[in-house]
Chains A and B, each alone.
Chain A
Amino acid sequence: MSDTVIQNPEPNYLEYQGRYKGIFAWIFSTDHKRIGLLYLYSMLVLFSVAAILGLLMKIELIAPGKTIMDAQTYNSFFTLHGITMIFLIVVPGLPAVFGNFFLPLMIGAKDVAFPKLNLLSWWIYILGAAVALSAQFFGDGPPDTGWTFYAPYSFRTGTNMLPAVTGAFILGFSSIATGLNFIVTIHRMRAPGMAWMKMPLFPWAIYGTSWIQVLATPIVGITLLMIVLERTLQIGFFDPALGGDPILYQHLFWIYSHPAVYIMILPAMGVISEIIPTFARKTIFGYKAIVVSTLAIAFVGYFVWGHHMFTSGMSGTALYTFSILTFLVAIPSAIKIFNWVATLHKASIDIQTPFLWALCFLFVFMIGGLSGMVLGALSANVHLHDTAFVVAHFHFIVFGGTGYAFFGALHYWYPKMFGRMYDKGWANIGLAVFFTGFNTLYLPMFYLGMIGMPRRYYDYVEEFHGPNIVSSFGAMLMISGLIIIITNLVRSARKGEIAEADPWKGKTLEWTVASPPPLENFAEIPVVTKRPYDYE
């Protein structure tokens, strides 16, 4: 990579040699770019494991009755799949990988506000992951509660709950530390001239996300702690035998876990808001509306948790309130969709892989969002609650939303991160296979849910067989697509052609530095005079 050295006398962050050598130069590095990649690699490994668990579950469901695993194994598989995917991948996902790597670059800073805390939060992440996953290997069998740890089952089950719950508790600290770091970074370290309303939209999304991380995570922390205390010390919190109310557990759990959905989706929206203007070669339509809707989602999203509990026996008043609020929170999301589409209007679009990911995101996110409206309606919810419909909706939003944005971001910023370009042909083929597989997998599940197939069962009656075969076939196709995509990216990190500093003609600050960025990002802190997407 000699040419980057010529552009910039300082070594790039990948080649830099500090006090430590080899792997220690990475796991003890306080460089936000290296930490971002540490998260990326850890998540890629965990994601592969959890995706394979998902595939195995779909293979189990290819035919009624026992196919490849028994009921208890299936229970532990969907629990582990959920814990890993939610707590270890999609919640930290975009902020920890791309927030870490690009937030300082996009606001013109040399690093985050607290680099050591940043490294610490990666270590806490690894510790939490190790503790949570250790539940699989010792004790009385892997947890089988599902990722929600609902009381009272979570302290009645004989399986090894404590490590899983403790692990999730520890991961909360990592999430809080990252959020805190980003808020302070955005407040204190924006480049001179970058007023709030001149900040690109991905940092804005990270800002909203960080506030949710900071203000919602402690609730789940204390809730999980109560489960631990209840299991170990018999302190009565949620056990009806001790006077507790299990529905209160659900309240507390969703007070965090619903905002957590916005922790997942807000940065995804931020990524899309970056990709679309770059490839449309046009200023984003309604910058202010997107900013305001980001903050509105973060705020209103805090008060809709009850829509996960419509059949739990809540009071009627609570039901109506949560249903109305759920419909309200859809408005700012829809505003963003309109803004993205309006940006594409009369634009001279350069169709590249990241842009195709963004388009696919729009498609699946709309399906996910609109099916969410179906679930937000009280009467429909009673019918669809705990069916495959919910699973399909959830995966369209979380995998379709966050997952697509994650891969979109990876393809968008890849040349910047590694200084090399992936094979665009293979990337597009991978996307096509993945997208086809994704829809073949999850669309039939909407139908299955509507005709009454419950979720979280390893078995089903013969009537559900046909759509399940299609769905399981889709799962295999989707995994093949993922293999193509990831292989292409991994291969290109070494063998891809050298990328220039600004391969997509992006206008935000990260494209003004060399690819890969030099150790300190900016030799001189830039002075910002223009708005972020200035293509005029």
Chain B
Amino acid sequence: MEKEQHTHIVKYKTYVFVLIALLFMTFTSVAITSLNLGPYTVSAALLLAGCKSLLVLLIFMHLKFDKKFYAIMAASVFLLLGCVIFITFLDYLYR
């Protein structure tokens, strides 16, 4: 088979920086929760979780370096789940 892939090597340093960012966001979300921002607590926590998962997907899981197909499909899967949750809530929000 053709061997077009596996040329990109991610540096150790990159991973360390990503980990630091991830840990920072984890502690931030814990800190925000203790502040008691009311309804914004959940949105803040989920927003940070979203950023964290984006970092994991792009760097740890190499979506940034791989073929675009994987990134597009991964985004579609999250979009699909989002749509399903949205449509389900059309029932629960207006019942």
Contacts and interface: CB of A to CB of B under 8 A. Distances in A.
Interface string A280-319: 0000000000000000000000110010000001111110
A430 to B, nearest CB: 42
A226 to B, nearest CB: 15
Interface string B63-86: 000000000000001001001100
Contacts, number: 36
B94 A215 contact: no
Given A303-B87, A306-B87, A315 B92 contact: yes
A321 B87 CA distance: 8
A315 B91 contact: yes
A313 B94 CA distance: 11
Nearest to B87: A303
A251 B80 contact: no
B95 interface: yes
Contacts of B94: 315-318
A362 interface: no
Nearest to B90: A318
A162 interface: no
B88 interface: yes
A215 B77 contact: yes
Which of under 10, 10 to 19, 20 to 34, or 35 or more describes the interface residues of A?
Answer: 10 to 19
A302 B91 contact: no
B93 interface: yes
Contact of B83 (A251, A303, A306, A316): A303
A318 B90 CA distance: 5
A317 B90 CA distance: 6
Nearest to A302: B80
Interface in A167-213: none
A318 B87 CA distance: 7
Contacts of B88: 251, 255
Contacts of A302: 80, 83-84
Contacts of A315: 90-95
A218 to B, nearest CB: 11
Nearest to A219: B84
Looking at B83, B84, B91, B95, the one whose CB has the most chain A CB atoms below 10 A away is B91
B91 A251 contact: yes
B80 A215 contact: yes
A314 B80 contact: no
19 contacts: A251-B88, A251-B91, A302-B80, A302-B84, A303-B83, A303-B84, A303-B87, A314-B91, A314-B95, A315-B90, A315-B91, A315-B92, A315-B93, A316-B94, A317-B93, A317-B94, A318-B87, A318-B90, A321-B90
Q: What are the nearest 6 A-B pairs in CB distance?
A: A315-B94, A318-B91, A317-B94, A315-B95, A318-B90, A314-B91
